[in-house]
Amino acid sequence: MKHAANQPKEIRIEEWVVDGSRTAPIDSELEMLAEILHAVVHEGSGVSFFTPFSLSEARSFWIDRVLPQVHEGARRVLVALDDQRIVGTVQLELEMPPNQRHRAAVAKMLVHPAARRRGIGRALMMALEEMARADGKTLLTLDTVTGSPAELLYTSLGFVKVGVIPRYARAALTPELESTTIMYKDLAHSQRTK
């Protein structure tokens, strides 16, 4: 399907599958995911890292932390694809204590700065909610930088603000400490987001 020059291309949301059923190597996908994380940190988003932050460090995060948990089934990852290029991602952390197996945590919702304002974050989150429901999860939790565009997105999707923790984490571009907002969504009692 061809798109006119001024029309956005269709974004596909898919689960990032890294098991033995794959026919293609994941090296190029890991590179794209590392590039997104690197760009997001250098743009100033508070996602656990701060500058200086190299592409090598971003790659290590995906290879050393995320990939093993995906293999173990402790984490699921969704990616947003623009043609064959990954432009966004979000993670569902599934590994919880025995008394909390009904819930999952949302982590690392990242959209490349060059691909923003196209509804990619919203599409990723809506797909993540469906994935969580299919996995039998009835509660999602997350934290995000207070006052950030991400907080506004989560609120628009029905997440409820529990509270704010001041001076929670270092900012991406400065040594300042930023507040974080703790949020949740009760999937068992909420309508699916349209």
What is the full DSSP assignment across 25-63?
A: -SHHHHHHHHHHHHHHHHHT--SS--SS--HHHHHHIII
Q: How confident is the model at residue 189 (pLDDT cuts 50, 70, 90)?
A: confident
Residue 135 confidence class, pLDDT cut points 50, 70, 90? very high
Is residue 20's pLDDT more than 80?
no
pLDDT at position 25 = 76
pLDDT > 80? residue 1: no
Mean pLDDT, residues 128-150 taken together? 97
Residue 161 identity = K
- Quickly state the pLDDT bin for 192 (edges 50, 70, 90): low
pLDDT band at residue 191 using 50, 70 and 90 as cut-offs:
low
- State pLDDT tens for residues 80-124: 999 989 999 999 999 999 999 999 999 999 999 999 999 999 999
State pTM to two decimals: 0.91
Token pair recorded at residue 120: 């990619």
Whether 21 has a pLDDT exceeding 80, the answer reads no
Lowest mean per-residue pLDDT among 3-7, 18-22, 85-89, 165-169: 3-7
More confident residue, 191 or 19: 19
Instruction: Give the pLDDT of residue 190.
Output: 79
From the list 168, 189, 92, the residue with the least C-alpha distance to 135 is 92
pLDDT at 194: 46
Name the pLDDT band for 22 (thresholds 50, 70, 90). low
- As separate numbers, helices (DSSP H) first and strands (DSSP E) second, the chain gives 5, 7
Domain range 11-186, CATH architecture: 3-Layer(aba) Sandwich (3.40)
The average confidence (pLDDT) of the chain is: 92
Q: pLDDT at residue 76 above 60?
A: yes
The beta strand positions in 40-159, using DSSP E, are: 75-82, 85-93, 103-111, 139-145
Q: If DSSP codes are grouped into helix, strand and coil, which group holds residue 8?
A: coil
pLDDT higher than 60, residue 5: no
124 burial level (CB within 10 Å; 0-12, 13-18, 19+): buried
All structural domains of the chain with their residue ranges: 11-186
Longest Cα separation, the chain: 52
